[in-house]
């Protein structure tokens, strides 16, 4: 289950090395880790390369870390994670820990996370990263690796690189590089407001102005961080977002490799970690994405300040209409059904369908001035002798007429 991250998380950072394969680490190793975690200014560019800075920018100020760097641990085998955890004092007070190795070269060295298992020395979620990528300790590990592993243990959000084609450098959880997470990832871990992703009504053509994901969130009310289009052929959906190289993370810099191209990207979401990139090169003004099987065309019509204007044209049947028709059908069944237990099943089904209808903001999308009355009296039925005439019928409205078949 994915957890949101809003506020401070306390992390124990533990320097650990394997005396069987590693050279003895530098004397200032704990100071290097302290800087990397909390404040790490680059001498050449002045950019802060720290994990703290990365998290604050990605989350638009929602996520922070605090904690301590513990004494260096000398492990006698490749179980560096176990040695690090067991070195903590009994009263350490942390449930999150990160073991920091000298470098990532060789087996049992790459970034890794353990979540939701049995606690070790009081720590339930822990990860492994490295200070450097090379044995010579000259090439600092990308902060994206630290971010990916820490996001795993704090939010339980999984890797996005186990599908193809994957998001790659359009999401840190796919690449371990220093770029921004996608709107998909940010929304799951609580880094976007509830209205940041606009839901496009199927069967309609609408224009949207996209606010680049790398900009501070939330977007202005007249913009969208992303647009969601429900799939006509399956349970998933499409997301459309804008990516620009306007900061040191999505742009190439001392802290990040940057995204592969600027513009509008489209990807299909079939599950929390089943995310498929549909536009390997981001779309620019005058370009479009088309999926004939979905009757979907997404056109980038023009550039906007720090974003793009897109037009979404879908010929699929409006999901709101489908749900509304289901609601009417269930109510008709209730009118003629006298079996008490079957009526209870229908009432539960009506409640579920009604919740889906509201979750998609159907009322708002269709007509914000009107509302379909979805028979609250039906949900209160509990006696087997209730007759169909006891069921209150919905009040007619403009929305009823619009959706009438």
Query: Are 142 and 219 members of one domain?
Result: no
Query: Are 277 and 333 members of one domain?
Result: no
Per-residue pLDDT at 362 = 60
Tell me which of 155, 185, 206 is where a domain ends: 155
Query: Are 284 and 394 members of one domain?
Result: no
User: Is residue 162 in a domain?
Assistant: no
User: Is residue 46 in a domain?
Assistant: yes
Per-residue pLDDT at 144 = 97
Backbone φ and ψ for 108, nearest 5 degrees, come out as 60, 40
Query: Are 176 and 218 members of one domain?
Result: yes
Residue 401 has pLDDT above 60, yes or no: no
Tell me which of 254, 284, 314 is where a domain ends: 314
Q: Are 284 and 190 within 8 A, CB to CB? A: no
User: Is residue 24 in a domain?
Assistant: yes
Query: Are 130 and 231 members of one domain?
Result: no
241 closest CA partner among 273, 221, 268, 220: 268
User: Is residue 217 in a domain?
Assistant: yes
On average, the pLDDT of the chain sits at 88
User: Is residue 2 in a domain?
Assistant: no
The total number of structural domains in the chain stands at: 3
Query: Are 111 and 40 members of one domain?
Result: yes
Domain that residue 110 falls in: 7-155
First to last CA, the chain: 40
User: Is residue 254 in a domain?
Assistant: yes
- 215-251 per-position pLDDT tens digit: 999 999 999 999 999 888 777 899 999 999 999 999 9
Query: Are 241 and 339 members of one domain?
Result: no
Query: Are 129 and 151 members of one domain?
Result: yes
More confident residue, 222 or 323: 222
Query: Are 195 and 139 members of one domain?
Result: no
Query: Are 128 and 44 members of one domain?
Result: yes
User: Is residue 160 in a domain?
Assistant: no
**Backbone torsion region of residue 270, taken as left when φ is above 0, otherwise alpha when ψ lies between -120 and 50, otherwise beta:** alpha
Query: Are 100 and 198 members of one domain?
Result: no
Q: Are 33 and 100 within 8 A, CB to CB? A: yes
How sure is the predictor about 317, in pLDDT bands with cuts at 50, 70 and 90?
low
288 closest CA partner among 272, 275, 279, 299: 299
Query: Are 248 and 267 members of one domain?
Result: yes
Residue 39 three-state SS: coil
pTM, 2 dp:
0.79
Residue 357 has pLDDT above 90, yes or no: no
Crossing angle of helices 29-38 and 51-58, rounded to 10°: 10
Tell me which of 266, 297, 314 is where a domain ends: 314
User: Is residue 71 in a domain?
Assistant: yes
Q: Are 250 and 214 within 8 A, CB to CB? A: yes
């Amino acid at each position: 289950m994915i957890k949101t991250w809003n506020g401070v998380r306390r992390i124990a950072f533990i320097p650990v090395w394997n005396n069987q394969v590693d050279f003895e680490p530098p004397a200032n190793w704990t100071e290097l880790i302290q800087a990397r975690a909390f404040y790490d200014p680059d001498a050449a560019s002045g950019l802060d390369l720290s994990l703290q800075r990365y998290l604050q920018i990605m989350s638009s100020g929602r996520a922070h870390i605090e904690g301590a760097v513990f004494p260096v641990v000398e492990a006698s085998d490749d179980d560096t994670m176990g040695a690090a955890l067991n070195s903590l004092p009994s009263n350490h007070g942390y449930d999150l820990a990160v073991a920091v190795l000298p470098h990532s070269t060789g087996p049992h060295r790459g970034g890794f996370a353990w979540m939701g298992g049995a606690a070790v020395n009081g720590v339930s979620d822990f990860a492994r990263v490295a200070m450097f990528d090379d044995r010579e300790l000259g090439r600092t590990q990308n902060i994206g690796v630290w971010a990916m592993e820490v996001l795993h243990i704090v939010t339980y959000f999984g890797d996005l690189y186990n599908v193809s084609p994957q998001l790659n450098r359009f999401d840190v959880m796919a690449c371990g590089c220093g770029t921004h997470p996608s709107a998909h990832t940010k929304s799951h871990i609580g880094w976007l407001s509830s209205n940041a992703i606009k839901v496009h009504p199927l069967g309609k053509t609408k224009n949207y102005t996209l606010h680049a994901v790398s900009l501070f969130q939330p977007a202005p009310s007249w913009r969208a961080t992303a647009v969601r289009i429900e799939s006509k052929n399956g349970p998933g959906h499409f997301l459309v977002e804008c990516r620009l190289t306007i900061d040191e993370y999505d742009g190439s810099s001392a802290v990040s490799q940057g995204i592969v191209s600027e513009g509008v990207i489209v990807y299909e979401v079939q599950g929390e970690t089943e995310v498929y990139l549909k536009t390997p090169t981001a779309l620019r003004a005058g370009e479009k994405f088309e999926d004939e099987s979905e009757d979907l065309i997404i056109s980038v019509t023009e550039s906007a300040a720090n974003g793009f204007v897109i037009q979404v044209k879908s010929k699929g049947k409006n999901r709101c209409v489908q749900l509304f028709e289901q609601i009417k059908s269930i109510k008709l069944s209730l009118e003629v059904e006298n079996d008490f237990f079957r009526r209870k099943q229908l009432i539960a089904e009506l409640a579920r369908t009604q919740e889906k209808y509201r979750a998609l903001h159907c009322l708002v999308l269709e007509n914000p001035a009107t509302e379909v009355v979805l028979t609250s009296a039906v949900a209160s039925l509990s006696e087997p002798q209730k007759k169909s005439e006891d069921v209150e019928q919905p009040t007619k409205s403009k929305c009823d007429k619009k959706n009438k078949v």
